Structure 1
Amino acid sequence: MTRNNASTASSPAPHRHIVLLVVVLVFVLDVVMRPMMPTNETRYLGVAWEMLAGNHWLVPFKNGLPYSHKPPLLFWLINLVWWPGVSEYTARLVAPALCVLALWLTGRLADRMRPGGEFGNAAVVILGTMVPFYVFGGETNFDGILMLAMVTCATALWRIGTEPQARLLHWLGFGAALGFGVYAKGPVIFVHVLPLLVAMRWWAGPGRFSAKGLLAAFGVAIVLVALWLLPAFLTGDATYREEILWTQSAGRVVNSFAHAEPFWYYMAALPMLLFPWVAMPGFWQFRPLDSAEKFAFAWFLGPFILFSLISGKQPDYLLPAMPAAALLLANRWPAQFGRPWIVAAVLVGVMAVVLALPTGAFGESIADFLDLRLGLVVLVPLVLAVAAMMRRPGLVWLAVPAIALALNTAYVIGPAGTIMSPKGIAAILAPRDGKIGYAGANYQDDFQFAGRLRAPLTLLRDQAAIAAFVQTNPDGLIVGRMDEAARPDWTPQDIIRYRKRDIWAVWNIEDMGR
Structure 2
Amino acid sequence: MFGSSRPLAAATAAPEPRVWWLLWGVVLAVAVWGRQLLPIDETRYAAVAWEMWRDQHWLYPTLDGGFYAQKPPLLFWLTLAVWAVVGVADWVPRAIVAIMGLATIAASARLAQRLWPHTPAVARWVPATFGLVLIWLLFAPAWYFDIPNALWCVVGVHGLLDLAARRWGRGAALLALAFVAGVFTKGPMVLLTVGAAAVWAPLWGPRWVGWQQPPLWKAAVVVALTAVLGLAVYAGWLAWASAHAGEAVWRAVLGAQAVDRLSDDADHASPFWWYAPQLLWMLWPAWAVALALLRRRGSVQGDAGTGLVWGTFALLLLVLSLAAGKRGHYLMGWVPLGAVWLAARLATADLRVAPAWGWRVLAALPALVVGAALAVWVGRPQVVQAYPWAGPALQAVGAALVVWALVMAWPARDAARWVQRLAAGGIGLVLLHVAVAHAMGPSFQLRALAEQVGEAMRAGHPVAWTDGRFHGVLSFYGRLPRTPELLAPEQAAQWLARHPDGWVLVRSKPAPDERPPHCVPYRSGWLCIVRAGT
Q: Scaled by the length of structure 1, what TM-score is found?
A: 0.86
Name the CA distance, whole Å, in 2 between partners of 1:192 and 1:90: 28
* Residues 75 and 467 (structure 1), Cα distance of their counterparts in 2 relative to 1, 3 Å cut: same
Q: Does 1:370 align with 2:392?
A: yes
The answer to whether the aligner puts 1:494 opposite 2:514 as a matched pair is no
Partner Cα distance (1:443, 1:284) in 2 = 51
Shift of 1:448: 0.6
Q: CA deviation at 1:171?
A: 2.2
Instruction: Write the deviation string for residues 140-174 of structure 1: whole angstroms up to 9, x where unpaired.
Output: 0111111111111111112212x12x324412431
- Please state whether the residue corresponding to 1:331 is helix, strand or coil: helix
* Aligned position for 1:431: 455
2:35 aligned partner: 34
* Structure 1 residue 378: Cα displacement: 4.7
Q: 2:307 — aligned with what?
A: 294
Deviation digits for residues 363-384 of structure 1, max 9, x if unmatched? 9668843299968975795477
Amino acid at match of 2:462: K
* CA RMSD between the two structures: 3.2
* Whole-Å separation in 1 of the counterparts to 2:236 and 2:456: 39
For the Cα contact (< 8 Å) 1:359–1:365, is it kept in 2? Answer: no
Q: Indicate yes or no: 2:283 matched with 1:274.
A: yes
Q: Which moved more, 1:368-377 or 1:467-476?
A: 368-377
Deviations 1:165-224 (A, max 9, x none): x32441243122111111111123222122112222111147434243234323542454
TM-score by length of 2: 0.83
Match of 2:342 in 1: 329
State the partner residue of 1:112: 114
Structure 1 residue 345: Cα displacement? 3.8
Q: Write out per-residue CA displacement over residues 270-322 of structure 1, whole angstroms, 9 at most, x where no aligned residue.
A: 12111112112356569951111111112222222221221111222211110
Match in the other structure for 1:440: 467
Structure 2 counterpart SS, 1:456: coil
Equivalent-residue separation in structure 2 for 1:305 and 1:171 (angstroms): 27
Give, as a single letter, the amino acid of the residue that structure 2 aligns with 1:296: V
Tell me which residue corresponds to 2:63: 62
- Whether the 8 Å contact between 2:503 and 2:530 is mirrored in structure 1 is yes
Report if the CA contact (8 A) 1:253-1:310 is conserved: yes
Worse-matched range after superposition: 271-280 or 429-438: 429-438
Paired residue type of 2:309 = A
Partner of 1:409: 435
**Residue 376 of structure 2 corresponds to residue 356 of structure 1:** yes
* Contact 2:100–2:151 (Cα < 8 Å) also in 1: yes
Once residues 405 and 292 of structure 2 are traced to their aligned partners in structure 1, the CA distance between those partners, rounded to angstroms, is 26
Q: 1:481: which partner in 2?
A: 507
Quote how far apart the aligned CAs of 1:15 are: 2.7
Q: Which residue of 1 aligns with 2:530?
A: 508
Tell me how far apart the structure 2 counterparts of residues 481 and 155 of structure 1 sit (CA, whole Å). Answer: 50
Give the partner amino acid of 1:150: C
Distance 1:374 1:193, change over 3 A: closer
The CA deviation at 1:54 is: 0.9
Query: Does the 8 Å CA contact 2:497/2:532 hold for their aligned counterparts?
Result: no
Answer whether contact 2:393 2:436 (CA < 8 A) is retained: no
Equivalent positions of 1:102-251 (< 5 A) are 102-115=104-117, 116-161=119-164, 163-164=165-166, 166-205=167-206, 207-210=215-218, 211-222=220-231, 224-226=233-235, 228-238=237-247, 240-251=249-260
Where structure 2 has 5 or more consecutive residues not aligned to the other structure, the ranges are 207-212
CA distances 1:330-388 after superposition (whole Å, capped 9, x unpaired): 2321367623343334433332222222479x996688432999689757954774576
Q: Is the 8 A contact 1:95 1:140 kept in 2?
A: yes
Q: Secondary structure at the match of 2:306?
A: helix
Q: CA deviation at 1:76?
A: 0.7
- AA of the residue aligned to 1:442: R
Task: Show structure 1 runs of 4+ deviating over 6 A.
Answer: 371-377
Question: How has the CA–CA distance of structure 1 residues 335 and 313 changed in structure 2, closer, same or farther, with 3 Å as cutoff?
Answer: farther
Aligned equivalent of 1:94: 96
- In structure 2, C-alpha distance between the alignment counterparts of 1:9 and 1:107, rounded to whole Å: 17
Kept in 1: contact 2:189–2:330 (CA 8 A): no
Q: 2:364 pairs with 344, 354, 363, which one? A: 344
Quote the offset at 1:133 in angstroms.
Answer: 1.2
Say if 1:217 and 1:380 are closer, same or farther in 2 by CA, change over 3 A.
Answer: closer
- Residues of 1 paired with 2:391 and 2:34: CA distance? 16
Question: Is 1:477–1:506's contact at 8 Å kept on the other side of the alignment?
Answer: no
The C-alpha deviation readout for 1:260-279, integer Å capped at 9, x for no partner, is 22222211111211111211
Provide the C-alpha distance between the structure 1 equivalents of 2:23 and 2:143, rounded to a whole number of angstroms: 19
Match of 2:267, as an amino acid? A
**Identity value in percent:** 23
Equivalent residue number for residue 488 of structure 1: none
The CA distance in 2 between the partners of 1:408 and 1:157, in whole Å, is 38
Distance 1:359 1:329 in 2: 39
What is the deviation of 1:16? 2.8
**Partner amino acid, structure 2, of 1:356:** V
8 Å Cα contact 2:372/2:398 also seen in 1: no
Q: 1:168 touches 1:213 (CA, 8 Å); kept in 2?
A: no
Once the two structures are overlaid, the 10-residue window that deviates more, 40-49 or 421-430, is 421-430
Which structure 1 segments of 5+ residues have no match?
485-490
